[in-house]
Structure 1
Amino acid sequence: MPRPTARVMGDQSLDFLRSGYLFASRVRQRAGVSPESQTPVRLRLMGRSTVLLRGIDGVRAFYDADKVKRDGAMPSFIRLPLFGPGSVHKLDGRAHAARKNALADMAYDDDRVARFARLVADELEEMLDRWARSGGGTVYDDTSTAFGRAAFRWAGLPLTPPEADRRARQMSRLLDTFGKVATNPVAEVERVRLDRWATGLIRAVRSGDLRAEPGSVLAAMADLRDEDGALVDDRTAAVELQNLTRPTVAVARFAAFAAVALAEHPQWADRIREAASAAGRLTDIPEAVAFAQEVRRIYPFVPMLPALATRDFEVQGCPVRKDQLVLLDLLGTDTDPNHWHDATTFDPGRFLGVDDAEALEAFIPHGGAGVRTGHRCPGEKIAVTALSATVAALCRPEVRISRDHDDMTFPWTHMLTRPATGVRVTWQERETAPT
């Protein structure tokens, strides 16, 4: 006999808009499912029959290419501003494999990640210097600029520092506005502007008017080809060029959350400060990496991901029918008490000694499964590198993170969320001991 499955009556679209990151937990509560249960929940969303999955079994089903597909799953009002038309995020099968490997060759290669590490460390040191000169700054705004500069340099884009700052701010504005109905047109405008700019770069390289450094991301995207070896159109290449740079700017949201977490856990700030001081660098500090991973696990970023069932199957006794919408609860899986000890407790120690966090099936802040074999984000290494270096930078003894209420809080019902202030910091020079 099949096990009974939880169900929520009525379309839940309005509640999704109202609840934000709390949507999945509220749906499960209405279905009578306990917080500890991984029972899938059936509901209706945007007029479609939907199944909400959580936990490792849900991850395995969601990333099984024989069971689900991405094309047609994500609403265009989300997909187009965030990822752009024709991007890898909606591809399946051979087309997805070819595109994904081309992007992974750029973002997932260890030598390229190491080069990014040097660049982002340089930009963060410059950010600290600016804070020293001005007396402080804002974590979200200033790291988004630093990350953007590092990403553009890493990609080989011919930008002056002022233009790099402007493009980073545009990307940041797109992320800040796309999820809000009142400001979504701003996101659409920024998407158009960024597409026009990136398409111009691709066309200039392809026509010979602009020389791209051999082996650079810009050169690779200008030569981007489909699964049959044909050159993709200018705009698609431009979209993927942005998808190799804009997500790095988005890591600034995690940087703001990391500042909150450091203020709330000063013992870890002391520990990271000592380790970074002893190493004499911002990157590859094990304590900072563990802290960054825990920030990614427990703070809200992407709430869930959608797919469409391509055939009938079951998850934990719950039937999933062909053409149903399938949602994977990322945040719920990252904090699932079945997979994490003291799941809602912030404890970076759980990641110390973990050499390959991507191998943890229940750790999916950037998606699950394999980078080259599935839909996991190929920029995860770069994201962790940028965030962990920022954690080390924020632990410098001169940096004081504001503990005001507006700096330490954020709304769980807004997507994408962050502290409204961006988390303010001040710079306080250490007193020199008398000789």
Structure 2
Amino acid sequence: MSVIPTDRSPESTLAFLRAGYRFVGDRCDRHGGDIFLTRLLLEPTICLRGRPAAELFYDNDRFVRRGAMPMRAQRTLTGVGGVQGLDDAPHRDRKAMLMSIMTPAGIRHLGQLVDDEWRARIPVWAADGPVVLYDEVARILTRAVFAWAGVPLAESEVARRTVELHAMIEAPTAVGLRHWRGVVARRRAERWTGELIERVRSGDLPAPEGSALRVIAEHRDERGQPLPRRIAAVDLLNVLRPTVAVDRFVVFAALALHDHPGWRDRVRGDDTATECFVQEVRRYYPFFPVAAARVRRSFEWQGYPFPQGRRVLLGLYATNHHPELWPEPERFRPERFAGWRGDPFGLMPQGGGDHLTGHRCAGEWITIELMKRAVTKLTSAMSYQVPPQDLSLDLSRMPTLPPSGFVIDAVRRTE
């Protein structure tokens, strides 16, 4: 049996926070492979990257998610009891419930709502002068996904709900005030979404057929029982929050168009080029850094021991930048996706494996649809200028974003 290469440091949590997205990839390079052992949060942790590692990691016979994600992430990002931390029959049941919402027609409807909101904002941006694209897109997505999910939202609440959802997204790896804002936002959000669930169940609040609010409120688990109010609230937030988080990918798409202006003409009116461009944005730019699991029962892989209960992290960013998978991974090259037929264990900005039965993000198809529509809007529906600003990405910050939020000016409608 081989010995897993091991970090010299007795505790690497601070090093992980300093390195951020590059932690797994840099240390794999340092150890000369795709696996190493370290200690994170005082616990031995195996870190992996690459396609074979992803195939292993998403084998549900070998790994479980229960107890893998740090509690600080559950209390802010995903919610305690969320589908991300379930296994076996409970996971299959809840995942099927969420996937039932993600129909092609439903996703197109959400995309149309985003289109409508975006078009309505263009004249406002033209009149207001410089605007921060990140802030504007976040509110567009909030309005659209709440309407799509059947969740009532007054215009006076849009900014507040957007801030709460952003606070949850920012909090898992943050320390101090930024983390506690996420904790408070999660508690508040679970209270009001829980109240909505109860109102639907009592008949006080009508919810559209097929909407996320109605599907989750009426769902019965594998034992025929309704979801507990708090769990239903968590699942509803796990539809709303990830959709609003697409605002980061939209900013990354705008940044890519700015840094690679030749692609503006290439994607305009060309669905195939737009698809390639969007997939490369998802591969190249940082979104989720890692995914976590625990070993279900002891086994060996490539001669290395995986003891029962051991926490394992799969580097998502590291795999998306693996040179054996992606030649010249630090170059932005959308043409690499020409003729690409998909690979559930190669491109993993939102997790890998199977959507329906595995732990791949249920909202990935929504992400792709909304990104494609955003690229179309940025290249065909409007013109704008990008004034001087700080557009750098700090890969030690998780999640990251240009400090400016991507400011645009001189907006004009062109369609």
Alignment partner, residue 318 of structure 1 = 304
> Would the aligned equivalents of 1:49 and 1:325 in 2 still touch at CA under 8 Å?
yes
2: distance between equivalents of 1:67 and 1:403?
51
Q: CA deviation at 1:349?
A: 1.5
Structure 2 length-normalised TM: 0.94
Alignment partner, residue 171 of structure 1 = 165
1: distance between equivalents of 2:373 and 2:123?
15
2: distance between equivalents of 1:289 and 1:149?
25
Q: CA deviation at 1:165?
A: 4.0
> Would the aligned equivalents of 2:385 and 2:410 in 1 still touch at CA under 8 Å?
no
Where in structure 2 are the equivalents of 1:139-150 lying within 5 Å? 139-150=133-144
SS at structure 2 position matched to 1:327: strand
What is the letter of the counterpart of residue 417 of structure 1?
Answer: T
Alignment partner, residue 395 of structure 1 = 379
Where in structure 2 are the equivalents of 1:75-90 lying within 5 Å? 75-90=70-85
> Would the aligned equivalents of 2:193 and 2:233 in 1 still touch at CA under 8 Å?
yes
Alignment partner, residue 61 of structure 1 = 56
SS at structure 2 position matched to 1:427: strand
SS at structure 1 position matched to 2:374: helix
2: distance between equivalents of 1:338 and 1:60?
15
What is the letter of the counterpart of residue 48 of structure 1?
Answer: E
What is the letter of the counterpart of residue 382 of structure 1?
Answer: I
Alignment partner, residue 5 of structure 2 = 6
Per-residue CA shift, 1:317-343, capped at 9, x if unaligned? Answer: 322111111110101111111112322
The answer to whether residue 329 in structure 2 is matched with residue 343 in structure 1 is: yes
Alignment partner, residue 113 of structure 2 = 119
SS at structure 1 position matched to 2:28: helix
Alignment partner, residue 20 of structure 2 = 20
2: distance between equivalents of 1:80 and 1:194?
12
2: distance between equivalents of 1:72 and 1:404?
45
SS at structure 1 position matched to 2:175: coil
SS at structure 2 position matched to 1:42: strand
Match of 1:131 among 125, 136, 141: 125
What is the letter of the counterpart of residue 272 of structure 2?
Answer: P
2: distance between equivalents of 1:297 and 1:59?
15
Q: CA deviation at 1:99?
A: 0.4
The answer to whether residue 320 in structure 2 is matched with residue 334 in structure 1 is: yes
SS at structure 2 position matched to 1:11: coil
The answer to whether residue 285 in structure 2 is matched with residue 299 in structure 1 is: yes
2: distance between equivalents of 1:427 and 1:226?
52
Where in structure 2 are the equivalents of 1:1-400 lying within 5 Å? 2-3=1-2, 5-9=4-8, 10-30=10-30, 32-33=31-32, 37-38=33-34, 40-107=35-102, 109-182=103-176, 183-273=178-268, 275=269, 285-354=271-340, 356-357=341-342, 359-396=343-380, 398-400=382-384
What is the letter of the counterpart of residue 347 of structure 1?
Answer: R
Q: CA deviation at 1:154?
A: 1.0
SS at structure 1 position matched to 2:6: strand
Alignment partner, residue 282 of structure 1 = none
What is the letter of the counterpart of residue 6 of structure 1?
Answer: P
1: distance between equivalents of 2:376 and 2:210?
31
Alignment partner, residue 398 of structure 2 = 415
Structure 1 length-normalised TM: 0.90
The percent of aligned pairs where both chains have the same amino acid is 36
Q: CA deviation at 1:259?
A: 1.4
Most deviating of 243-252 and 254-263:
254-263
2: distance between equivalents of 1:361 and 1:185?
34
Per-residue CA shift, 1:84-107, capped at 9, x if unaligned? Answer: 121101110100000000001012
Count of residue pairs the alignment pairs up: 412
> Would the aligned equivalents of 1:263 and 1:403 in 2 still touch at CA under 8 Å?
no
Gapped runs of 5+ residues in structure 1?
Answer: 277-284
Q: CA deviation at 1:286?
A: 2.9
1:401/1:367 Cα in 2 relative to 1: closer, same or farther (>3 Å)?
farther
Greater than 4 Å deviation, 4+ residue runs = 428-431
2: distance between equivalents of 1:178 and 1:64?
26
Q: CA deviation at 1:136?
A: 3.8
2: distance between equivalents of 1:330 and 1:342?
17
> Would the aligned equivalents of 1:366 and 1:376 in 2 still touch at CA under 8 Å?
yes
1:137/1:386 Cα in 2 relative to 1: closer, same or farther (>3 Å)?
same
Q: CA deviation at 1:80?
A: 1.7
2: distance between equivalents of 1:365 and 1:287?
20
2: distance between equivalents of 1:48 and 1:419?
33
1:428/1:201 Cα in 2 relative to 1: closer, same or farther (>3 Å)?
closer
2: distance between equivalents of 1:94 and 1:350?
38
SS at structure 2 position matched to 1:6: coil
2: distance between equivalents of 1:286 and 1:127?
27
2: distance between equivalents of 1:325 and 1:120?
39
What is the letter of the counterpart of residue 393 of structure 2?
Answer: F
